[in-house]
């Protein structure tokens, strides 16, 4: 325990009313009563009521009794109190703190402090509850009766369950690549407005596929209490792209699955993974076991890794994690790797993720900052350089991560084990990390994961806290669903990354003459090679050809907005699936980017728009995951919004009453612009705002875009020196991004 353990049974008690289950994101009122123990609370003594870092319950406020989150505190004996809320006033992960200090007077044994969260007596609607499910949401209480600031946790803490609300969004999930006759599953669930799988779904649903599927039932039934449905043992006997619709009893199509490509022969299959998430034993929510079962049964993942902050992982918990990975790892159905997040200070290299092939390996922590047992402090690796030295003989894979801290891969990088960089997570989108790697000449793959803290591994809605993005996914292309198969995909960079969608993506390079296809990176030591005329994403080749034929094939899960074909740091082409003649009355306004690389990267885009000589007919938000951040139409030609970005992008589509007339004015703290509607075309109008890719973009779209597939072939001239790193970035109209790992070719 990080706090004092002196006589907790004499420090008082805390009770809470009510303790019934509450719906995630709903408004509720609670009364917590702290009763002083034997020592009372001395003059200037205090208590703290703390919540988890990951929690996104409304911030208590003390000034507006009619507004949400109004909170009051009263002492039964009339003692004068100081009350304030601080987001960082206790030891992580319990750092969000309601601080209550006795500043005049004291409490005797039996005196009480009554705290009303969401006090409704003067009109407050209550506290806005956290937006995600938790079986034991706690108001954890600590007492300092002696005014020493050495707090003791009460032995019994009040708690209650937070449960999902009714389903408002439906998802049907398939893999994305299988061979004819191979079996696969269809996953289905309804999610509430905050992204929690709902257990309130009941009814019979019809399944309709665009091609014959062996084993697919005509209908299936869900009952209240079920969070998801998995339909196993499906197969397709002929090549094609499979889509399955789920239809309710009234004939309404609730959702369409992502595409699944059935190939005559598929040497590599697609396995969807979230390789980075945390549970309540470190800084997340819900237990590690619950996290694993969510990933497998509600997110329908093929693979995962628990990646807790190393300086919070005690030896007993490390041993428990290894027991859990051994228990849940099932070849052919679900793969889980033992591992941890090496959470070194930024100046010592920043965050890395370590995954082992096998259990029982030594954890090399960045520090023992929150681990009291220092008997194994000898094993610490305080710097990223030290970590790579400690892992040089391990059967492991490392990838660089941007969280609160960011990975400085220019300071430290070991190409033998650090095979990828993480471009996206709940924290945001970080293409600059890919650019850092390419600038340094590293040959890395591109991953995306969640680093989820809210217990939703593989389907990580960011909720209403500091996270600015939906958690990412990585599609690993492997011959089989085994640890060895997925490790091979990671080591060969045979994978692509998405911001959370599941779509089909393939990139290829074709050579006129035999190229040398290397088994490993020849930059870091001897590597064998074989002759090859074709290559896939992640491959490293040497060629005598002056140019190469580059092909990309995509079947997206939503209409394609654009595709960028890139060679390293250069965008060779921006392709859109429509021409100017197809453009209509729909315009898109995008805000994006971050303040800088560190923790304070949030960029506030609060502002509005005015349309003179025209009007807005329909507004559709994009990537505005926090429902507390809203776009509101305040008049025929006026909008107001609250919004932020942490490296990724958000914005809205607006359908105008007139395609060409009028002027559009945007007014935010960072960007102010005034443009003629007639000047908004297919290409971006860009208004820069400093920072990292921080800007507003405005462009025009067709009224309806039906293009979900693209197959492009381009002849690309290879660089004379250094690598040509050939890859694509796909943008879907729904706001999701997809990156292929580069094909690395040198002359």
**CATH label of the domain that carries residue 71:** 2.60.40.1510
Q: Output the CA torsion sign for 695, 700, 701, 703.
A: positive
276 in a structural domain: yes
- Residue where one domain finishes, among candidates 467, 500, 533: 500
Work out how many domains the chain is built from and give that number: 5
242 in a structural domain: yes
- Residue where one domain finishes, among candidates 500, 534, 569: 500
pTM score:
0.96
Query: Hey, what are 268's tokens?
Result: 């590599």
Residue 466's pLDDT is what?
78
Looking at the structure, do residues 425 and 566 belong to the same domain, yes or no? no
Q: Are strands 495-498 and 638-641 parallel, antiparallel or unpaired?
A: unpaired
Residue 268 CA: distances (Å) to CA of 178, 474, 483:
8, 15, 15
Closest of 448, 413, 408, 410 to residue 428, by C-alpha? 448
- Residue where one domain finishes, among candidates 481, 500, 519: 500
109 in a structural domain: yes
3 in a structural domain: no
538 in a structural domain: yes
Looking at the structure, do residues 477 and 532 belong to the same domain, yes or no? no
2 in a structural domain: no
| Phi, psi angles (nearest 5°) of residue 82 | -105, 130
686 in a structural domain: yes
Looking at the structure, do residues 566 and 585 belong to the same domain, yes or no? no
Looking at the structure, do residues 465 and 520 belong to the same domain, yes or no? no
- CATH code, domain carrying 572: 2.60.40.10
Residue 218's pLDDT is what?
98
Q: How far apart are CA 44 and CA 48, in angstroms?
A: 13
Q: Are 725 and 743 contacting, i.e. CB atoms less than 8 angstroms apart? A: yes
The DSSP secondary structure of 531-594, one letter per residue, reads EEEEEETT-EEE---SEEEEEEEEE-SS-EEEEEEEETTEEEEEE-SS-GGGEEEEEEEEEEEE
H helix count then E strand count, the chain = 5, 57
1 in a structural domain: no
Looking at the structure, do residues 371 and 433 belong to the same domain, yes or no? yes
Beta strands in 431-536 (DSSP E): 445-448, 473-478, 495-498, 504-518, 529-536
Residue 599's pLDDT is what?
82
Looking at the structure, do residues 603 and 744 belong to the same domain, yes or no? no
Looking at the structure, do residues 238 and 290 belong to the same domain, yes or no? no
**How buried is residue 587: exposed, middle or buried, by Cβ count under 10 Å (0-12/13-18/19+)?**
buried
**Which range marks the domain in which residue 310 is found?**
269-500
Closest of 395, 445, 401 to residue 310, by C-alpha? 401
Residue 181's pLDDT is what?
96
Looking at the structure, do residues 695 and 597 belong to the same domain, yes or no? yes
Looking at the structure, do residues 374 and 336 belong to the same domain, yes or no? yes
Looking at the structure, do residues 206 and 312 belong to the same domain, yes or no? no
Looking at the structure, do residues 385 and 291 belong to the same domain, yes or no? yes
What's the average pLDDT block by block, 10 residues per block, for the chain (747 residues)? 88 97 98 98 97 95 98 98 96 95 97 98 97 96 96 96 98 97 97 98 97 98 97 97 97 98 94 97 95 98 98 97 98 98 96 98 97 96 98 97 93 96 96 97 98 96 89 97 98 98 98 97 93 98 98 98 98 97 98 90 95 97 94 97 94 97 97 98 97 96 97 97 97 98 97
Looking at the structure, do residues 694 and 739 belong to the same domain, yes or no? no
């Amino acid at each position: 325990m990080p706090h004092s353990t002196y006589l907790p049974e004499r420090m008082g008690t805390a009770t809470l009313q009510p303790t019934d289950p509450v719906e995630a994101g709903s408004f509720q009122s609670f009364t917590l009563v702290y009763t002083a123990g034997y020592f009372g609370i001395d003059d200037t003594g205090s208590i703290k009521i703390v919540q988890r870092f990951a929690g996104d319950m409304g911030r208590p406020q003390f000034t507006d009794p009619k507004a949400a989150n109004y909170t009051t505190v009263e002492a039964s004996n009339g003692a004068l109190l100081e009350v304030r809320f601080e987001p960082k006033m206790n030891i992580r992960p319990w750092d969000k703190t309601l601080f209550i200090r006795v500043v005049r007077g004291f409490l005797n044994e039996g005196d009480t402090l009554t705290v009303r969260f969401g006090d409704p007596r003067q009109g407050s609607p209550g506290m806005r509850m956290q937006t995600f499910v938790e079986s034991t949401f706690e108001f954890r209480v600590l007492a300092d009766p002696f005014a020493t600031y050495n707090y003791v946790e009460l032995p019994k803490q009040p708690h209650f369950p937070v449960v999902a609300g009714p389903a408002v969004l439906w998802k049907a999930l398939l893999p994305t690549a299988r061979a004819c006759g191979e079996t696969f599953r269809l996953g289905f669930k309804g999610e509430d407005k905050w992204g929690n799988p709902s257990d309130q779904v009941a009814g019979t649903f019809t399944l309709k596929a665009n091609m014959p599927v062996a084993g697919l039932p005509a209908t299936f039934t869900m009952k209240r209490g079920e969070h998801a449905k998995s339909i196993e043992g499906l197969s397709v006997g002929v090549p094609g792209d499979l889509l399955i619709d789920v239809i309710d009893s009234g004939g309404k199509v609730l959702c369409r699955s992502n595409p699944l490509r059935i190939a005559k022969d598929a040497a590599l299959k697609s396995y969807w993974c979230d390789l980075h998430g945390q549970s309540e034993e470190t800084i997340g929510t819900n237990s590690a076991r619950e996290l694993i079962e969510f990933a497998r049964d509600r997110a329908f993942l093929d693979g995962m890794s628990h990646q807790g902050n190393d300086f919070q992982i005690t030896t007993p918990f490390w041993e428990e994690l290894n027991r859990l990975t051994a228990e849940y790892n099932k070849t052919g159905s679900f793969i889980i790797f033992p591992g941890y997040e090496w959470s070194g200070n930024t100046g010592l290299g920043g965050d890395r993720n370590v995954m082992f092939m096998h259990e029982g390996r030594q954890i090399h922590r960045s520090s023992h900052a929150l681990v009291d047992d220092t008997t194994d402090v000898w094993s610490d690796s305080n710097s990223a350089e030290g970590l790579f030295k400690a892992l040089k003989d391990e059967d492991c894979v490392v990838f660089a991560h941007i969280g609160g801290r960011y990975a400085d891969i220019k300071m430290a990088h070991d190409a033998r084990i650090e095979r990828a960089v993480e471009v996206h997570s709940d924290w945001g989108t970080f293409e600059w990390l890919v650019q850092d790697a390419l600038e340094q000449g590293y040959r890395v793959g591109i991953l995306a994961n969640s680093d989820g803290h809210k217990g939703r591994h593989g389907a990580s809605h960011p909720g209403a806290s500091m996270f600015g993005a939906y958690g990412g996914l990585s599609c690993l292309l492997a011959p089989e669903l085994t640890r060895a198969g997925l490790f091979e995909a990671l080591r060969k960079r045979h994978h692509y990354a998405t911001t959370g969608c599941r779509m089909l993506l393939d990139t290829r390079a074709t050579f006129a003459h035999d190229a040398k296809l290397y088994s490993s990176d020849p930059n870091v030591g001897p590597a064998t090679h074989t002759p090859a005329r074709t290559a896939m994403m992640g491959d490293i080749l040497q060629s005598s050809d002056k140019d190469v034929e580059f092909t990309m094939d995509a079947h997206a899960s939503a209409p394609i907005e654009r595709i960028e074909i890139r060679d390293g740091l250069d965008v060779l082409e921006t392709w859109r699936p429509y021409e100017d003649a197809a453009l209509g009355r729909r315009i898109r306004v995008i805000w994006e980017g971050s303040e800088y690389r560190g923790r304070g990267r949030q960029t506030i885009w609060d502002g509005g728009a005015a349309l003179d000589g025209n009007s807005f007919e329909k507004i559709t938000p994009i990537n505005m995951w926090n429902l507390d951040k809203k776009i509101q139409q305040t008049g025929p030609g006026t909008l107001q919004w609250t919004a932020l970005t942490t490296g990724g992008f958000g914005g809205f589509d607006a359908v105008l009453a007139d395609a060409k007339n009028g002027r559009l004015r945007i007014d935010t703290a960072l960007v102010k612009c005034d443009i003629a509607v007639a000047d908004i075309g297919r290409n971006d109008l860009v208004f820069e705002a400093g920072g990292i890719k921080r800007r507003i973009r405005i462009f025009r779209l067709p009224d309806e875009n039906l293009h979900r597939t693209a197959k492009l072939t381009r002849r690309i001239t290879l660089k004379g020196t250094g690598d040509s790193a050939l890859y694509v970035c796909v943008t879907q109209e729904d706001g999701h991004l997809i990156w292929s790992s580069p094909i690395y070719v040198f002359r």
